[in-house]
Amino acid sequence: MLTNVDSAAFAVFLALFILVTGMGFVAARWRKPETLAHLDEWGLGGRKFGTWITWFLVGGDFYTAYTVIAVPALVYAVGAYGFFALPYTIIVYPFVFAVMPVLWKVAKERGYVTAGDVVRGAYGSRGLELAVAATGVLATMPYIALQLIGMEVAIKALGLSGEVPLVLAFLVLALYTYSSGLRAPALIAFVKDIMIYIVVIAAVAIVPSKLGGYGAIFTAADAAFSAKGSGGILLSPAQIVPYASLALGSALAAFMYPHTLTGIFAASGGNTIRKNAMLLPAYTLLLGLLALLGYMGHAAGLKLASNNDVVPELFKTLFPSWFAGFAFAAIAIGALVPAAVMSIGAANLFTRNFWKVWIDPKVTPAGEAKVAKITSMLVKVGALLAILFMPTQFALDLQLLGGLWILQTLPALIFGLYLNWFSSTALLTGWAVGLAGGSWLAWSDGLKPLHGIDFGAGKVAIYTGLLALALNIVVAVVVNLVLKGLPQAGLSREAA
């Protein structure tokens, strides 16, 4: 397990990992909770997080370890197309500014903890509540697994072999999340993001000086794509529509995930969320700089076994060992924050919208917190087992489907904030058709994110999740119109 370990890099990595582990356990006493035996405190940090904490928390779980690994890897593999994550993280913030304060207000006033709670309150439908909650849990599991992949890449770059380091890291994560709840990732997010900023600023300042400047980097990347016969540093005309549809679909899906909603619900007020919608684009700048590491990999002449190795190999090749260890620690710690928030979000959904509804309706607040703590551990264990015993590609495929699935909860969650027109039956039917139809399209395309549609002048590729959402909304509208035409159709909402 310890063969070929870079001792300097490992020492820096271990010291920083121990630091954040200690912070994770200390977080239980941070901001003086009256008790953690309540879901509001354990799962939402008491709903008291101000602008800066929310900024680090939402940024920390939105820009994940896998983002740090996968975005540069995609740019390294295909070039400009890999930058679709940039417009997506620009489009999403106006949506957050306009919609999320409204959602937060509803959740705060009525004591809602999850998207399932909001849907039940709006439509009084246990079926729609269960559909939204189950979709959230299913979509989150492979997302957590991807954080493990990001951490695994960083650990292996240190020279550590075997699965024991990964198991130990996630055992630590599971224990302090159980102990401190959302306070742990909120506190660690400060350290994680400062480290990531240091790593990226060092990379964009120092790497070009070692590779002949940005002109040489873009020239080398362009030459590499030309030699390969695919990809490029500019989009081709055929890539523009799929690029835009991926960006739009990803933006709409981003804040439907339980972990991003958990960060929103934990904010202290609507203005906190609006301020964050204005401040969070700073992460987009960070993401753009990170993506450039993919081009730098070509300029550095890296020969990689996997595209995911481009960032670790770049730091191992061009930086001293101690700083490479710092960068690997930033990536690994970058996995802990989102993985913790994701598991808490999934646990909240299970506790509020399954356990309390179908198993134990009389469960006390303390009982809810206990069920959520245990569930968060089981969710992490499940993700870990998936990585250890299933092919990595399986997690990637499930993550693709997870994005498609979570997008189908948007009409039920968002429409009810503004409209009193849709019935729960119409929305549930639209959700089912969108989920099944989108999954079938993705499966028939070989689990690719894009589906070709022939408009008469040749096929145009569009993000499958967006097509499924359009189908979802059309079906919901049609079913609602049909129900409105029926006598005693039961269109009025049931009591929450």
**Arithmetic mean of pLDDT, 286-308:** 90
Q: How confident is the model at residue 145 (pLDDT cuts 50, 70, 90)?
A: confident
pLDDT, residue 489, reads 47
Q: State the residue for tokens 């999934």.
A: 346
Give 418: exposed, middle or buried? Use CB within 10 Å, 0-12, 13-18, 19+: exposed
Q: Greater confidence, 219 or 286?
A: 219
pLDDT tens for each residue of 31-43: 777 777 888 899 9
- Here the tokens at position 437 are 């139809």
pLDDT, residue 488, reads 56
pLDDT, residue 494, reads 46
Query: Which range scores top for mean pLDDT: 151-165, 380-394, 402-416?
Result: 402-416
Give pairs for 214-217: CB < 8 Å, separation 24+: 216/299, 217/292, 217/295, 217/296, 217/298, 217/299
What average pLDDT is seen over the chain?
A: 89
Asked whether the predicted pLDDT for residue 227 surpasses 90, the reply is yes
pLDDT, residue 495, reads 41
pLDDT, residue 3, reads 59
How would DSSP label each residue in 155-219?
Answer: HHHTT--SSHHHHHHHHHHHHHHHHHTTHHHHHHHHHHHHHHHHHHHHHHHHHHHHHT-HHHHHH
Indicate the residue type of 303.
K
User: Which of 30, 99, 104 has the alpha carbon at shortest distance from 267?
Assistant: 104
CA angle 160/342/365 to nearest 5° reads: 130
Q: How confident is the model at residue 376 (pLDDT cuts 50, 70, 90)?
A: very high
* Percent of the chain that is helix, strand, coil (3-state, to 5): 80, 5, 20
Asked whether the predicted pLDDT for residue 401 surpasses 80, the reply is yes
Q: Greater confidence, 380 or 219?
A: 219
d(C-alpha 478, C-alpha 476), whole Å: 6
Q: How confident is the model at residue 496 (pLDDT cuts 50, 70, 90)?
A: very low
Q: Under CATH, which number does the domain 7-392 receive?
A: 1.20.1730.10
Q: How confident is the model at residue 492 (pLDDT cuts 50, 70, 90)?
A: very low
Asked whether the predicted pLDDT for residue 97 surpasses 50, the reply is yes
- Here the tokens at position 456 are 């008469």
Give 351: exposed, middle or buried? Use CB within 10 Å, 0-12, 13-18, 19+: buried
Backbone angles phi, psi at 453, to 5 degrees: -125, 130
pTM reported for the whole predicted model? 0.90
Asked whether the predicted pLDDT for residue 107 surpasses 70, the reply is yes
pLDDT, residue 361, reads 92
**Arithmetic mean of pLDDT, 449-457:** 85
Q: How confident is the model at residue 63 (pLDDT cuts 50, 70, 90)?
A: confident
Asked whether the predicted pLDDT for residue 493 surpasses 60, the reply is no
Share of the chain above pLDDT 70, in %: 97
**Arithmetic mean of pLDDT, 34-63:** 86
CA angle 350/351/352 to nearest 5° reads: 100
Q: Greater confidence, 2 or 466?
A: 466
pLDDT tens for each residue of 408-417: 999 999 998 9
pLDDT, residue 131, reads 97
DSSP designation for 232: B
**Arithmetic mean of pLDDT, 416-438:** 95
Share of the chain above pLDDT 90, in %: 58
pLDDT tens for each residue of 331-350: 988 888 888 999 999 999 99
d(C-alpha 105, C-alpha 82), whole Å: 36
pLDDT, residue 487, reads 66
Largest CA distance in the chain: 76
Asked whether the predicted pLDDT for residue 194 surpasses 50, the reply is yes
Q: How confident is the model at residue 390 (pLDDT cuts 50, 70, 90)?
A: confident
Calculate Rg over the CA atoms of the chain. 23
Asked whether the predicted pLDDT for residue 215 surpasses 90, the reply is yes
pLDDT, residue 149, reads 83
